Structure 1
Amino acid sequence: MIDCLYDSLPNLPRWHVLGIAVVGYVVYYLFQVAKRPILAVSDGPFKTFLMKNVPTLETKFWPTFWCVESRAQTVFASILRSQILPKINYDREILTLKDGGEVALDWLESGCKSDSPVIIILPGLTGESQAEYIKCLVTAANNAGIRAVVFNNRGLGGIPLKTPRLYCAANCEDLSEVVNHVRKKNPHVKLGATGISMGGLILGNYLSNHSEEAKRILTAAKIISVPWDVHKGTISIETPVLNCLLGRHLTSSLCRTLSRCEIFRDTDIDWDRIMSSKTIKEFDALFTSKQFGYETVDHYYDAATLHNKLHKISVPLLCLSAADDPFQPLDAIPMKAAEESSHVAIVVTARGGHIGFLEGWWPSSKDQYMGRLFSEFFTGALFDHDKQFEETSKFLSEYRFKKSKTQLDKIE
């Protein structure tokens, strides 16, 4: 019967063939593409809070019908948001760090009360406060009445380097200074933090390596499209052909960032060789890992990776990943660890690419999936009108106390 069907296809009118193709794609989209996201977190107050305050988790994610492929989502999201979202007029603050370096903190507080909560936002690999995905989140925060401050890494945001040091995914010393600075400026309001892609690695390492400090200062945190296992992430982004092209583009961005840092020309780095890097791993091997004192690039990636650090985090954390993220294979997302965690929740959509998550027939609305999930979570966590999130934090404190006591009893 199937052979007869194939034999008859060439004889059908073109519009019949087109109709069959359209119907086939619609069926594929409805059953394989549009799906409700997976939520990995253990039962308890945090999961209860999420299900009550983040309604987006209860509905299917409907990726843009003509743009479901992961690389297409990644690229078109950047292009479309850059056209939709206007330039934001931030209030810039220059923060001088302990070693004499400087970073730019870009604030958007217009329309918000002086005592409203604050979210610190960390861009990706070479992102700045005017990056389209950052403007998406900043706009979502502002619409929710939450003040936002974007932490531009050293050498970014138009600020020249004062010391021969950039940034890396495993080092969170600068973020610690920024977090303490924002707390000092806003001693009586709730603070949140969000990191995107490499910014998520920096934030995640801060949450795990500075666990007690983070717990004392931050109320809630969120990371988006983070490469959980950096080793597997670099392998994925170097896969021919399309992933490799994305990787080449990011590597070029890294080289351009370094090329603007004239201060490094007087150091002993192999400038020409670094500038000829073709992959992110090659750039990290020649420059990043050496600058931050790692023996090899693999040692650097060991320190940067997050998939094995969820148990060290003490701040309620929501994570958003796409199963088809070209920068991170699905098997690297620590779903099992999240399922056993009382306070780290991972949301995985079937599609979305890397910082994509485009939805709708024509994704022209400023209210996109990524921004909506962001605003729903932080509105509930930072305003916390019914004190439900406060119960989550209390439960976490009690849970960690009991766990520590159990471990001490075993030692004794």
Structure 2
Amino acid sequence: MLYDLYCYITNLPRLHLLASSVIFYFLYYLLQAVKRPIVACSDGPFKKFLLKNIPALEMKFWPTFWCVESRAQTVLASFLRAQVIPHINYRREILTLKDGGEVALDWLEENCAEGAPCIIILPGLTGESQAEYIKCLVWSANNEGMRVVVFNNRGLGGIELKTPRLYCAANCEDLSEVVKHVRNTVPHCKLGATGISMGGLILGNYLARSSEEARTYLQAAKIISVPWDVHKGNASIEKPILNSLLGRHLAGSLCRTLRKCEIYKKTDIDMDRILSCKTIKEFDAEFTSKQFGYAHVDDYYDDATLINKLDKISVPLLCLSAADDPFQPLEAIPIKAAEKCSHVAIVVTARGGHIGFLEGMWPSTKDQYMGRLFAEFFKKTLFDKDGEFESTTKELQKIYEEYEVLTSSTESLNASMPVNFSENS
């Protein structure tokens, strides 16, 4: 009887088409969207530790069934988190930097034991501590008993810009001061750090350029949805039509941030020209690159890019990227480079968009994939109740020291070799 009813219904033209469409989409979802994430890291102690202790890496990522498209994930995640996660009452601290500039550090320490670990969080391009994706991570960390401090870049978080300097993806001087200050503030707590999008670029550059310093202060680090290759990331975000709309929205946010900085009205920069920029690259060409002394915007992007710096990182670093991130094409994610790195692991999900990673039929809960992976990683690495991560870190340190010796010997050998210039060279 049921079979006869099914045949009757499916023989109706419209219902047959609808049923076929649903079946086709369901198969597409199972085959193309639901996949176990790639974990790109060299076969060694760090990868072994992650696969053993981080449950999310062993399970398939099930993106929200009716919202698998990358731009939809990106936009909907922002909207839903804003509705679900309430305003967080931080304890604000104003840190005066060496050059007289100021940044706001927003602390959340409720429900934390005295020796609870601390995570420094770096928001994205124009983000601050009340941004919905930041509150998602703050909530996840606090729920596990970890204290959090959000580092709001200069001119953000509602504080006045004291010096005519904002921030950029390639400069990590401010972060270095913040890390040292947080270390002095909570001297007996283990420290971790995470950066999202452009915050990931700043953190990644700090880990690579100040490798020894970072290793001294930080036990572990994580970056989320970072534009690994800034050139390709900008090219991707400028693609018409939907990507470029997202890019224009972010460019507008940059312009609004600059417009609030009264101190620039006393300088000779062409504010009207800068504020008319429609893309991120235009803004960086007219303002950011010039402010930080780059001859051309491409020089700035070369300096900010992370794809060629992974081997310089000596702090265990977990990275989360989506293969469909509109801000970074899949081919620009340095998967092969990570497979040769002992300290860097890149987790790539098939879907997720940019800082999206929504899952479940109705993704209205605070605990989403991005926050869950974040909490699992830092809970295991910073609390480390059984000492397993400490043992892993010691093994990684030996590997890095051997790598440094080998690199130093190779550089010395190359420097000592005579240079032969032929007549035709």
Shift of 1:402: 1.4
- Which residue type is aligned with residue 332 of structure 1? A
State the partner residue of 1:46: 46
The number of equivalent residue pairs is 404
Deviation digits for residues 224-255 of structure 1 (CA, Å, limit 9, x no counterpart): 00000000000000000000000000000000
State the partner residue of 2:363: 363
Deviation digits for residues 73-119 of structure 1 (CA, Å, limit 9, x no counterpart): 00000000000000000000000000111100000000001210000
State the partner residue of 2:145: 145
Q: Is the partner of 2:104 in helix, strand or coil?
A: strand
Q: 1:15 to 1:259 in 2, by over 3 A?
A: same
The question of 1:56 aligning with 2:50 is answered: no
State the partner residue of 2:317: 317
Q: Is the partner of 1:106 in helix, strand or coil?
A: strand
Cα distance in 2 for partners of 1:257, 1:407 equals 43
State the partner residue of 2:94: 94
The question of 1:128 aligning with 2:128 is answered: yes
Q: Is the partner of 1:221 in helix, strand or coil?
A: strand
The question of 1:268 aligning with 2:268 is answered: yes
The question of 1:183 aligning with 2:198 is answered: no
State the partner residue of 2:407: 407
Cα distance in 2 for partners of 1:369, 1:321 equals 12
Paired residues of 1:155 and 1:161 also in contact (CA < 8 A): yes
Shift of 1:143: 0.5
State the partner residue of 1:23: 23
Instruction: Please list, as runs of the form range in 1=range in 2, the aligned pairs for 1:200-279 lying within 5 A after superposition.
Output: 200-279=200-279
Shift of 1:12: 4.0
Cα distance in 2 for partners of 1:409, 1:102 equals 42
Q: Is the partner of 1:93 in helix, strand or coil?
A: strand
Paired residues of 1:45 and 1:391 also in contact (CA < 8 A): no
State the partner residue of 2:416: none
Shift of 1:407: 3.4
Deviation digits for residues 325-375 of structure 1 (CA, Å, limit 9, x no counterpart): 000010110001110111100000000000000000000111100000000
Shift of 1:164: 0.6
The question of 1:287 aligning with 2:282 is answered: no
Residue identity (%): 74
Cα distance in 2 for partners of 1:12, 1:93 equals 67
- Which residue type is aligned with residue 47 of structure 1? K
Shift of 1:13: 2.6
Q: Is the partner of 2:21 in helix, strand or coil?
A: helix
Q: Is the partner of 2:121 in helix, strand or coil?
A: strand
Cα distance in 1 for partners of 2:206, 2:236 equals 25
Structure 1, 232-241 or 394-403: larger mean CA deviation: 394-403
Cα distance in 1 for partners of 2:282, 2:407 equals 42
State the partner residue of 1:339: 339
State the partner residue of 1:6: none
Q: Is the partner of 2:220 in helix, strand or coil?
A: strand
- Which residue type is aligned with residue 357 of structure 1? F
State the partner residue of 2:169: 169
- Which residue type is aligned with residue 374 of structure 1? F
State the partner residue of 2:3: none
Cα distance in 2 for partners of 1:56, 1:360 equals 14
Shift of 1:45: 1.1
Cα distance in 2 for partners of 1:137, 1:114 equals 21
Cα distance in 2 for partners of 1:320, 1:404 equals 27
State the partner residue of 1:197: 197
- Which residue type is aligned with residue 268 of structure 1? D
Cα distance in 1 for partners of 2:405, 2:170 equals 30
The question of 1:308 aligning with 2:308 is answered: yes
State the partner residue of 2:350: 350
- Which residue type is aligned with residue 147 of structure 2? R
Structure 1, 122-131 or 263-272: larger mean CA deviation: 263-272
- Which residue type is aligned with residue 398 of structure 1? K
Cα distance in 1 for partners of 2:11, 2:287 equals 61
Structure 1, 241-250 or 401-410: larger mean CA deviation: 401-410
Deviation digits for residues 195-224 of structure 1 (CA, Å, limit 9, x no counterpart): 000000000000011111000000000000
- Which residue type is aligned with residue 386 of structure 1? D
- Which residue type is aligned with residue 377 of structure 2? F
Deviation digits for residues 33-91 of structure 1 (CA, Å, limit 9, x no counterpart): 11110000011111111011110001111111111000000000000000000000000
Q: Which runs of 5+ in 2 are unaligned?
A: 1-9, 414-425
Cα distance in 2 for partners of 1:90, 1:409 equals 49
Structure 1, 402-411 or 69-78: larger mean CA deviation: 402-411
Q: Is the partner of 1:377 in helix, strand or coil?
A: helix
- Which residue type is aligned with residue 81 of structure 1? R
Cα distance in 2 for partners of 1:364, 1:88 equals 18
State the partner residue of 1:67: 67
Q: Is the partner of 1:103 in helix, strand or coil?
A: strand
Cα distance in 2 for partners of 1:408, 1:353 equals 40
Cα distance in 2 for partners of 1:400, 1:30 equals 40
Cα distance in 2 for partners of 1:392, 1:202 equals 26
Cα distance in 2 for partners of 1:409, 1:141 equals 42
Q: Which runs of 5+ in 1 are unaligned?
A: 1-9
Q: Is the partner of 1:87 in helix, strand or coil?
A: coil
Paired residues of 1:91 and 1:107 also in contact (CA < 8 A): yes
Cα distance in 2 for partners of 1:325, 1:132 equals 18
- Which residue type is aligned with residue 52 of structure 2? K
- Which residue type is aligned with residue 227 of structure 2? P
State the partner residue of 2:103: 103
- Which residue type is aligned with residue 188 of structure 1? H
Cα distance in 2 for partners of 1:93, 1:116 equals 19
Shift of 1:381: 0.3
- Which residue type is aligned with residue 92 of structure 2? R
- Which residue type is aligned with residue 265 of structure 1? K
Cα distance in 2 for partners of 1:400, 1:176 equals 22
Cα distance in 1 for partners of 2:156, 2:406 equals 46
Shift of 1:405: 2.4
Deviation digits for residues 141-181 of structure 1 (CA, Å, limit 9, x no counterpart): 00111000000000000000011110000000000000000
> TM-score scaled by structure 1?
0.96
